[in-house]
Amino acid sequence: MRTFDVVGVGLNAVDTLITVPRFPAYAGKVRVSGEAVIPGGQVATALVACARLGLRTRYIGAVGDDERGRIQLQSLAEAGVEAADVKVRPGCATQSAYIVVDASTGERTVLWVRDDALAIQPEEITAETIAGARLLHIDGHDTAAVGRAAELARERGIPVTVDVDTIYPGFERVLPNVDYLLASSDFPRNWTGDSDPFAALEKLQEEYGMRVAAMTLGADGALARENGRYLYSPGFVVNAVDTTGAGDVFHGGFCYATLQGMPLGEALDFSNAMAALNCTGVGARGGIRGLEEIGALMARGSRFSNPDFGCAL
Measured distance CA(237)–CA(34) in Å, rounded: 25
Q: What is the pLDDT of residue 313?
A: 62
Measured distance CA(282)–CA(294) in Å, rounded: 18
Instruction: List, as one string, the DSSP characters of the chain.
Output: --SEEEEEES--EEEEEEEESSPPPTT------EEEEEEE-HHHHHHHHHHHTT--EEEE-EEESSHHHHHHHHHHHHHTEE-TT-EEETT-PPPEEEEEEETTT--EEEEEE--GGGPPPGGG--HHHHHTEEEEEEESSSHHHHHHHHHHHHHTT--EEEEE-S--TTGGGTGGG-SEEEE-SHHHHHHH----HHHHHHHHHHHH--SEEEEE-GGG-EEEEETTEEEEEPPBP---S--TTHHHHHHHHHHHHHHTT--HHHHHHHHHHHHHHHTTSSSTTTT---HHHHHHHHHH--B---GGGGGG-
- Is it true that domain 4-12+42-91+120-299 has CATH number 3.40.1190.20? yes
Are the C-beta atoms of residues 21 and 31 closer than 8 Å to each other?
Answer: yes
Q: List Cβ neighbours of 61 (8 Å cut-off, separation of 6 or more).
A: 8, 9, 10, 11, 12, 41, 43, 44, 86, 87, 120
Beta pairing partners, 222: 216, 233
Are the C-beta atoms of residues 96 and 10 closer than 8 Å to each other?
Answer: no
Sign of torsion over alpha carbons 306, 308, 310, 313: negative
SS (H, E, C) 219-282: HHCEEEEECCEEEEECCECCCCCCCCCHHHHHHHHHHHHHHCCCCHHHHHHHHHHHHHHHCCCC
- Give the burial class of 298: count Cβ atoms within 10 A of its Cβ; 0-12 exposed, 13-18 middle, 19 or more buried: middle
Sign of torsion over alpha carbons 254, 106, 108, 120: negative
Q: What is the pLDDT of residue 97?
A: 93
108-113 vs 96-102, strand pairing mode: antiparallel
Q: What is the pLDDT of residue 2?
A: 64
Q: What is the pLDDT of residue 149?
A: 98
pLDDT values of the chain reduced to their tens digit, one per residue, 313 residues: 469 999 999 999 999 999 999 999 999 999 999 999 999 999 999 999 999 999 999 999 999 999 999 999 999 999 999 999 999 999 999 999 999 999 999 999 999 999 999 999 999 999 999 998 999 999 999 999 999 999 999 999 999 999 999 999 999 999 999 999 999 999 999 999 999 999 999 999 999 999 999 999 999 999 999 999 999 999 999 999 999 999 999 999 999 999 999 999 999 999 999 999 999 999 999 999 999 999 999 999 999 878 888 667 6
Q: List Cβ neighbours of 77 (8 Å cut-off, separation of 6 or more).
A: 83
Delimit the domains of the chain by residue range. 4-12+42-91+120-299
